[in-house]
Amino acid sequence: MIIRIVAGGPEHELPDLHLNNPHESEWIGVDRGALYLLDRGITPSKAFGDFDSVSLSEWQKISDTVPDYVQFPAEKDETDLEIALTYAISQNPDAIYLYGVTGGRLDHFFGAVTLLMKEELINGGPAVTIIDRQNAIQVFAPGRIKVEADENMQYYSFFSMSEEVAGLTLEGFKYPLVDHLLKSGSSRCVSNELMDKKGVFSFRSGILMVVRSSDGGKSR
């Protein structure tokens, strides 16, 4: 099972959600994200949020159409997105995708990125990916990860989300690395590319964030 969560960030940052076979995934709307889904003919199975970003008529549309919605007060300990993500993790899906969390307010964006580092995700939980029109962001625990070329997201950047990432090795990339120590704050691994259709990155310790990007707005 794949769960796709759409939050209420700037709508122009959303990719074409219909490219993801909408009827083969479970969709969750977060605040205004529920409206984004309904406007695209996709009815989320659940909606979470305080819904302070929608008008009364828009809220009526959400509450009348979404089969299961949970409205929270605006003042709470977790963000609406974290509440939705926690629910999604509890369903033990194969993967979770987050949309509508980039652009606009940087605090919201960085808040979404930090959610990728939740302990239950780093320690063997489902893969979670942030996606917008030009980027895909994932966080990885140590291991060996195979990647395939995607013409819509041809650039790869690697960042240490811990104090350091030890043993970073990039195989099949334009700028290869062998047993590199990537420290937090380094831009050494920004904007790399695959040389062929496949490649591998691996590392021994630390937490690694991988950003795939394109120059245009054609991403999935």
Tally of domains within the chain:
2
Regarding whether 160 and 113 lie in a shared domain, the answer is: no
Residue 145 lies in a domain: yes
Q: Residue 85 pLDDT > 50, yes or no?
A: yes
- Mean pLDDT for the chain overall: 93
Residue 219 lies in a domain: no
Q: What is d(CA 182, CA 43) in angstroms, rounded to the nearest whole number?
A: 43
Regarding whether 68 and 15 lie in a shared domain, the answer is: yes
Q: What domain range includes position 164?
A: 140-213
What is the tens place of the pLDDT at every residue in 12-27?
A: 999 999 876 666 789 9
User: Phi-psi bin for 41: left (phi > 0), alpha (psi -120 to 50), beta?
Assistant: left
**Listed residues 107, 133, 159: the one ending a domain:** 133
Residue 165 lies in a domain: yes
Whole-structure pTM value: 0.92
Residue 218 lies in a domain: no
> Residue 146's pLDDT is what?
96
**Listed residues 133, 163, 193: the one ending a domain:** 133
CATH of residue 67's domain is 3.40.50.10240
Regarding whether 208 and 189 lie in a shared domain, the answer is: yes
Span 54-70, average pLDDT: 93
> Residue 96's pLDDT is what?
97
Q: What is d(CA 89, CA 127) in angstroms, rounded to the nearest whole number?
A: 10
Regarding whether 191 and 146 lie in a shared domain, the answer is: yes
Regarding whether 116 and 164 lie in a shared domain, the answer is: no
